[in-house]
Amino acid sequence: MATTEIKASSSPAALSWARVCKECGQQHEGQDTHLYEYQDEVDDELVCHICLQPLIRPMDTPCGHTYCFHCLSNFLKEKDFCPVDRLRLQLHQCRPSSLLVRNLLDKLNVMCPHYAECQQQMQRCELQPHLHNRCPVFRRLREEAEKRKRPSWHELKGRKNDGESSGDDKHSAALSRNPSRDPSEPGLINPAYEEMDDDNTPQRSSLVAEANVVELFREEPEEDLGLRIVGGRDTPLGNIVIQEIIRDSITSRDGRLAPGDHILEVNDVSLASVPHARAITVLQQPALLRLTVMQEKGFKIRDQRSDQQPSTSTAPQ
Ligand SMILES: [Zn+2]
Ligand SMILES: [Zn+2]
Ligand SMILES: [Zn+2]
Ligand SMILES: [Zn+2]
């Protein structure tokens, strides 16, 4: 009866969808910095003087030093000076580093954190799309979690395949629009797209919803994000959903968010069951906002920039 192609090996007890970071794929405390398996030695210039790791979301200080946004904002909660030269410093005086520096960091080679089963190596900026769209381990964790409890996203959106009732592929039905209902084509029923090496494989574009992290940065603390939301625990909608994006705003210039996207988290604060007014307050935090959003992808891959690598089944030796 069970015709699922999920790998037989059970996941290590420690690894669970709820605890794994949706950005770096490792298990770490929400307030801790992301963990990456760097494959090459990294130039000292690209290392944060607080965490001694390659910079993540680098911020330049007016005194000419660069730190991870996360490290610096934590440090400045208690202190009011630069950790290297002890010159007076506040977070709002800092700016994201140049595109050149951010690109150098994005291009650092990392290994998939689930390398016991997935030996993929890629640029650091490609790890998150890999995890959410191609990593077999990440997909298995998500599917296991969905079998236990169907997330509210699916309850809200409902089944896409109304005629689907065979039972064997129930766990995958919520995530894939089956291009064919013919059960003699298991490759189309199960989203096991790691078996395919063709970039145009229908499974890659059949994902209905996908979790992504989008960062928005206010140049001025008062600047309007240009984001109108609806929903909240005290409304019939429940979840926080983007209703409208104002033209010529931070959000519209960024271009990655769209009306209908569900905001799941902001800077590691869950918006899962907060009242509407609380969500507004969270989104009004100054400086950098890191939004985890559930985005409907339909049949087309919308974000070509972050998802242009062909899917492949060949693991490097
Ligand atoms: Zn992480
Ligand atoms: Zn750091
Ligand atoms: Zn300094
Ligand atoms: Zn992987």
The pLDDT value recorded for residue 152 is 52
Which residues lie at CB < 5 A from ion ligand 1? 21, 23-24, 34
The pLDDT value recorded for residue 57 is 93
In the chain the domains, ranked by start, together with CATH numbers, are: 41-107 (3.30.40.10), 150-206 (no CATH), 209-296 (2.30.42.10)
The pLDDT value recorded for residue 312 is 43
Taking the chain (317 residues) in runs of 10, the rounded mean pLDDT of each run is: 41 71 89 90 94 95 95 94 96 93 96 94 95 93 81 49 44 42 42 41 50 79 85 84 86 83 84 87 82 71 45 44
The pLDDT value recorded for residue 153 is 53
- Of all ligands present, the nearest one to the C-alpha of 134 is 4
Whether the CB-CB separation of 206 and 296 falls below 8 Å is answered with no
- Of all ligands present, the nearest one to the C-alpha of 57 is 2
The CA distance from 158 to 147, in Å, is 15
Residue 93 Ramachandran class (φ > 0 left, ψ -120 to 50 alpha, else beta): alpha
Q: How far is the CA of 232 from the centre of ligand 1 (A)?
A: 26
Which residues lie at CB < 5 A from ion ligand 4? 112, 114, 118, 120, 135
Q: How far is the CA of 110 from the centre of ligand 2 (A)?
A: 17
Measured at the CA of 168, the angle between CA 166 and CA 171, to 5 degrees, comes to 110
DSSP secondary structure code for residue 210 in this structure: E
How many angstroms separate the first and last alpha carbons of the chain? 36
ipTM of the complex as predicted: 0.89
